[in-house]
Structure 1
Amino acid sequence: MKPFLLLATRDHDQAATAEYRSVLRHTGLAPEQLLHRRVESEPLGPIDLADYSGILLGGSSFNISDAQKTANQQRVEAELAALVDRIVDADFPFLGLCYGVGTVTTHLGGVVDHSYAEPVGAIRVSQTAEAAGDPLLEGIPDVFDAFVGHKEACHGTPPGVTLLATGEDCPVQMYRVGSNVYVTQFHPELDADDLAARMRIYEHAGYFDPAELDDLITMAYASPVSGEQHKVLANFVRHYGG
């Protein structure tokens, strides 16, 4: 099996390592089967899609809709946009987690803004009728729970996509482009331990009031998020890993 590639843009070493470990754990891959590239740390360079079974894009402290961007953020966005252009054109296996929504939606000419931002928490995700039979949702209930926390989201369904899952406060939670390009607004890689660790890292990043940290951690462990959301990752690897 060719390895999978996880692209990361987290500008915090602990957060980047934790994200890689959570994706590794929930995909069931061995470390040599999931390569890790931190795009915020160095130029992405050439990527030969033929070298990989599939590509994943992790979450980010960057926002596509940011009014002001550092030179590094502009570089990261330009490099990822060029890669996503190739991925979508080739219909190459891709799974974008949260930040991937903005990247792919922009490629499609959709709008990404703050209208459907969601605070850190657990939400109910509902599959659409079009999700029936989709390989990445195999074995996942029609309604399941997952963790979210994002400052931007799709403003309406982007043109030309198949909407696979929706939520009450943020209507676009998962969609597919073509047959093999997927994005999720919710975080399939996060369980309560992962979320608690991430909240501690990003306590002062504007996702929540730092005074609420302890209550949010209590919420995470008391939430109905049961692990069904992780199957998106396992299904991606099983379907495209051969």
Structure 2
Amino acid sequence: MRILVIQHSDKEHAGAFRALFERDGHELVTCVAPQMIGDVDLAGIDGLWVLGGPMQVWEAQELPWLAREIDVIREAVLGRKLPYFGICLGHQLLAHVLGGQIGLAPQSEVGLLHVAKHGNPPMFDGMPDQFSCFQWHSAEVSRLPEGVRILASSGRCNVQAMSWGRAAHSVQFHAELDAATLADWYEIEDCEKMLRNEIGADADRVFDALSEAEADLARLRRNLYRHWFASIPE
């Protein structure tokens, strides 16, 4: 498959998912927004992944490039019925395109935290009822779009994972993150400073915590990856 990946920095890439795509021979077509979003062409694209970023969905009124990105997602999901996977901002943008509402969360979530799945959705097949994941967001899906299923929640954020139809799925948490990916994030100006402002002294051992949790995080990634491909209509 040729999969378009929209990312919002050259350092905020698909992270540890990239090895899975490479292993299975899929081609990733990278679009770094805002620089490249105006040139996106969905012709010949078999699926769309949209990653996280520091901007907010409601800023599209002031950011023409973000409005363009929303149009691309709308065309992909509603127009072309392409399989979709969203992470963090990409999760919120999917909800927006489907008619939901995004707002500031009462409390942000930052760091290695826990999420609880709803029942046993295939996306989290074999995962414990509560599992670890890395969070970094201050906004949330505040009103669910019609026809969307909530698949996981946390105490601070009700819509941690959701699905729409067969092949549109998204997660609020950063499923792509491992220690190597966070090291790339740290090359972004002020990223480390912002993380320290959010979690204080816990930032001193965040890399150790990610490494210690890697077996569980990798299992989560494999489940998400496998389920996304399995859900694509033939």
TM range (shorter): 0.7 to 0.9
Letter in 2 for 1:123: L
Match for 2:16 among 16, 22, 32? 22
Whole-Å separation in 2 of the counterparts to 1:22 and 1:110: 29
Deviations 1:149-175 (A, max 9, x none): 012111143332011111111111010
Give the match for residue 85 of structure 1: 74
Larger strand percent: 2
Structure 1 residue 202: deviation in Å? 5.2
1:107 equivalent to 2:97? Answer: yes
Deviations 1:48-98 (A, max 9, x none): 2xx2332111111221134984xxxx2322222212222332442100111
Structure 1 residue 186: deviation in Å? 0.5
Give the match for residue 57 of structure 1: 50
Whole-Å separation in 1 of the counterparts to 2:170 and 2:209: 27
2:203 is paired with a residue whose SS is: helix
1:4 equivalent to 2:3? Answer: yes
What is the total number of aligned residue pairs between the two structures? 227
Give the match for residue 236 of structure 1: 228
Structure 1 residue 47: deviation in Å? 1.4
CA RMSD of aligned residues (A): 3.1
Give the match for residue 146 of structure 2: 159
Letter in 2 for 1:39: A
Which range moved further: 74-83 or 205-214?
Answer: 205-214
Taking the TM superposition and a 5 Å limit, the aligned residue runs for 1:62-141 are 62-66=55-59, 69=62, 74-89=63-78, 90-129=80-119, 131-132=120-121, 134=122, 136-141=123-128
Whole-Å separation in 1 of the counterparts to 2:26 and 2:82: 21
Give the match for residue 146 of structure 1: 133
1:39 equivalent to 2:33? Answer: yes
1:170 equivalent to 2:157? Answer: yes
Q: Where do 4+ consecutive residues of structure 1 move more than 6 Å?
A: none
Runs of 5+ consecutive residues of structure 2 not aligned to the other structure: none
Whole-Å separation in 2 of the counterparts to 1:86 and 1:214: 43
Distance 1:154 1:177, change over 3 A: same
Distance 1:202 1:165, change over 3 A: farther
Which range moved further: 101-110 or 147-156?
Answer: 101-110
Give the match for residue 167 of structure 2: 180
TM score, norm. by length of structure 2: 0.81
Which range moved further: 154-163 or 30-39?
Answer: 30-39
Distance 1:152 1:211, change over 3 A: closer
Distance 1:65 1:151, change over 3 A: farther
Structure 1 residue 241: deviation in Å? 10
Structure 1 residue 28: deviation in Å? 4.6
Tell which has more relative contact order, 1 or 2 (C-alpha 8 A, sep 6+): 1
Distance 1:116 1:212, change over 3 A: closer
